[in-house]
Structure 1
Amino acid sequence: MIDKETTPTANTKPDLAAKYRGACVEDLQLPPAFCLSEDAPISHALEAAYEREFDQLPILNDRRRPIGYLHVPSLKQRFEAGTIKEDDPVYKCITHFPISSRSHPYTVIHPLTPLEDLEQFFCTSGTDFALVTDVERKWVLAVATKDDLETFVKRRG
């Protein structure tokens, strides 16, 4: 006998709330984020990404507010191609976050954000990661990825 409440069929999408069973971003147990200042050298970014096995590094302005990120695989390609040098500042390679507006609203992802909201963010934003900040967006606490969600679901069975 099949339990229709928990067994998805080919025609139905599993309920996200049931999938995550009330878990929030904090339950992902993410490692602390490593952020760089926009004037840090490329060499520092590459070294930090390699040591921590990160694909994205949040970039902060002089007031320590997140302004964008470095996509490390692209950064490595540009470095190997010689289009950037190790002493160049990272601001030459930043992917800036869009200014918050009606057409590009800023979504706050914080430790108590439900995981179904995080998945919805990934689906609507077209990105594979999210910066986890405090509620006031003053501090970057971690970086959550789609892979983190998939690993969480597999662990919980």
Structure 2
Amino acid sequence: MATATLSSQTSHLSAANPAEKYRGAVVEDLQLPPAFCVKSSETIHRAIEQAYERDFSHIPVLDRHRRPLGYIDVATLKTRWESGDADDSEKVINVMSRFKRTASQPYTLITPYTPLAELEEFLKHNIFAIVTDPGRKFVVALATTHDLETFVSRRGF
């Protein structure tokens, strides 16, 4: 499950035809680390602590049913926390960026079986993609433009 509500990020991928560039590879081929998510009831302090332990810059926030509600930009949150604009015992639900769920902005489903060419297109307009299982029951990983660039350079495409 991914959303089209995030800021655009410049892609450094080559202008080659995506179908040729990725040679049929899918998201699973990126070998992404397992996703790290926090519950909406988690404290800011705990979320920042866990993000730095795992070296993640963005963390999906899940509701009690494990559905993504939004995300935390760790650097922004840390800055707010250090400046006193956010209390470390405050819940992440109060400071997260929410995904917009509207008919005009539907989710783009990104699964381990999504072709990398489709992921590249999605990432032209989004900071990251949330990769879910095909049934959208749980978050599997996060994918970024950097992951695609690493894949291309590793494969020599």
TM-score by length of 1: 0.88
32, 35, 50: which one pairs with 2:34? 32
Superimposed CA distance per residue, residues 17-67 of structure 1 (whole angstroms, 9 cap, x where no aligned partner): 111111100001111011111010011110111011000101000111111
2:84 aligns with: 82
Deviation at 1:86, TM superposition (A): 1.1
Q: 1: CA distance between counterparts of 2:74 and 2:126?
A: 15
State the secondary structure of the residue aligned to 1:86.
coil
Question: What 5-or-longer segments of structure 2 have no aligned partner?
Answer: 1-13
Superimposed CA distance per residue, residues 41-100 of structure 1 (whole angstroms, 9 cap, x where no aligned partner): 011110111011000101000111111110111101101110111111001111111114
Question: What 5-or-longer segments of structure 1 have no aligned partner?
Answer: 1-11
1:99 aligns with: 101
71, 74, 80: which one pairs with 2:73? 71
2:10 aligns with: none
1:5 aligns with: none
Q: 1: CA distance between counterparts of 2:45 and 2:138?
A: 24
Q: 2: CA distance between counterparts of 1:105 and 1:65?
A: 15
Q: CA RMSD in A?
A: 1.2
TM-score by length of 2: 0.88
1:9 aligns with: none
Q: 2: CA distance between counterparts of 1:128 and 1:154?
A: 20
Identical amino acids, percent of aligned pairs? 51
State the secondary structure of the residue aligned to 1:99.
coil
Which portions of structure 1, spanning 4 or more consecutive aligned residues, are displaced by more than 2 angstroms? none
1:142 aligns with: 141
- Are 2:135 and 1:133 aligned? no
Q: 2: CA distance between counterparts of 1:43 and 1:66?
A: 20
Deviation at 1:13, TM superposition (A): 3.9
State the secondary structure of the residue aligned to 1:26.
helix
